[in-house]
Amino acid sequence: MIIILRPSASQADADQILQRISDCGLKPLCLPGTERVVLGALGDERKLGALHLESHPAVERVDAVLAPYKAVSREMHSASSVVTIGDFPVGSDRFFIVGGPCAVEGLDPLRLSAKVVKSSGAHALRGGAFKPRTSPYSFQGMGIEGLKVLRQVSDELSLPCITEVVEVADVEAVESYADAFQVGARNMQNFRLLTALGKATKPVILKRGMAASVEDLLMAAEYIVSEGNQNVILCERGIRTFEKGTRNTLDLSAVCQLKKLSHLPVLVDPSHGTGVREYVTPMACAAIACGADGVLVETHHCPQEAFSDGAQSLLPAQFEAMVNQLKAFADAAGRVI
């Protein structure tokens, strides 16, 4: 339910209504806007009827949210949300470019890759310390040690850093080192992890699962937001189809869908989306052109030596060229880089 307050409503009115929502067992949500305050009530909507909020003097209107997802829907929050990572406003008119290796492989290698990211003009550093790998015999990441390395390089270069979290027990550690969480495609419906992240405060980049519909992705985001963490960023990274010429099929129309249905920022990962180095830059350009708020791109100072995903990692010169191409498209896309 959306409870739209009158322009004349006071903060005390809002607080009182939020309390009543909470008292009847629903989750209250406060969405302050520039013109008026909008409140949300998440959960079994039948309970709300008993409150008769539509007759409260501070309430202008009570609307049902038709979509199965509520807090993340544009119905509830018509203005686009901006989520801040480091000091970068993701979802604003600034286009967000994140670069870095698939995995943190050590201090020196990460520093080399991160310098490329920084000097190219990108805005944040990515790198996995906990790696979900298809095979138990593949490199599984450096763990906590990797988080420390990531923090150190991030600080040295003043680049906020993003890293994957794969397990409830790691949420606290990851939050203490990184500037934003990433939830990978394989964990998009790990609901316990989502719930735990809903109780954290740092931003969460939530990647679409390989078999997840756009609606499934929004429902997964709802798990996080409904627990209280509104700093969620969605990420299209390709779905599984019959086509074998690319690792996945990057579904850019999902960007259009997500921007229409939700107020959350939307990123695109053309590296996992295609799995082929030479398709990454054109698909990053397509992403800015169709309305994405940023891209997550793998780059490695020496891809042939990468512990994982070398074939899709841009070479340093390619990463720099990609940033320049994105700059060329930014103006037409109404974006600043």
> Under rule CB under 8 A, which residues in 125-164 are in contact with its own copies?
132-137, 140
Rounded (5°) CA angle 294-298-299: 120
Residue number with CB closer to its own copies (160 or 238): 238
Residue number with CB closer to its own copies (152 or 325): 325
Of 60, 76, 66, 61, give the one whose Cα is nearest residue 27: 76
Question: Which residues is 32 bridged to in the sheet?
Answer: 37
Of 95, 153, 93, give the one whose Cα is nearest residue 126: 153
Sole binder of its own copies in the list 95, 223, 307, 319 (CB under 8 A) = 223
* Binding-residue pattern over the window 178 to 207 for its own copies, x denoting contact by CB under 8 A: --------xx-xxxx--x------------
Nearest distance, CB of residue 84 and its own copies, angstroms: 24
AA letter at 123: H
User: Which of the residues 44 through 73 are near its own copies (CB under 8 A)?
Assistant: 44, 68-70
Residue number with CB closer to its own copies (7 or 245): 245
The distance of Cα 131 from the centroid of its chain, to the nearest Å, equals 18
Sole binder of its own copies in the list 23, 156, 215, 305 (CB under 8 A) = 215
Q: CA 261 to CA 246: how far, in whole Å?
A: 28
Q: Residue count at the site for its own copies (CB under 8 A)?
A: 74
Nearest distance, CB of residue 255 and its own copies, angstroms: 8
AA letter at 75: E
Q: CA 99 to CA 89: how far, in whole Å?
A: 17
Tell whether residue 40 is a contact of its own copies (CB under 8 A).
no
Nearest distance, CB of residue 248 and its own copies, angstroms: 9
What is the H or E stretch that residue 90 is in? strand 88-90
Phi, psi of 194 (to 5 degrees): -60, -45
Q: Long-range contacts: 18-26, Cβ < 8 Å, 24+?
A: 20/51, 20/53, 21/48, 21/51, 24/48, 24/50, 24/51
Residue number with CB closer to its own copies (176 or 324): 324
Nearest distance, CB of residue 223 and its own copies, angstroms: 5
Name, in order, each residue with C-beta under 8 angstroms of 328's C-beta and a sequence gap of 6 or more.
none
Residue number with CB closer to its own copies (125 or 258): 258
User: Which of the residues 72 through 131 are near its own copies (CB under 8 A)?
Assistant: none
Query: With CB under 8 A as the contact rule, which of the stretches 73-81, 83-91, 220-228, 301-309 interacts with its own copies?
Result: 220-228
Nearest distance, CB of residue 311 and its own copies, angstroms: 15
Nearest distance, CB of residue 281 and its own copies, angstroms: 9
Length of the chain: 337
Phi, psi of 236 (to 5 degrees): -85, 130
Nearest distance, CB of residue 187 and its own copies, angstroms: 7
Cα-based distances in Å from 1 to 47, 73, 273, 320: 11, 11, 36, 46
| 214 and 253 Cβ atoms separated by less than 8 Å | no
Sole binder of its own copies in the list 80, 302, 321, 329 (CB under 8 A) = 329
User: Which of the residues 240 through 299 are near its own copies (CB under 8 A)?
Assistant: 240-246, 249-257, 260, 273-274, 276, 278-279, 282-283, 285-291
Tell whether residue 167 is a contact of its own copies (CB under 8 A).
yes
Query: With CB under 8 A as the contact rule, which of the stretches 48-56, 98-106, 119-127, 237-245 interacts with its own copies?
Result: 237-245
Tell whether residue 337 is a contact of its own copies (CB under 8 A).
no
Rounded to a whole number, what is the distance in angstroms from the first to the last CA of the chain? 37
Residue number with CB closer to its own copies (16 or 213): 213
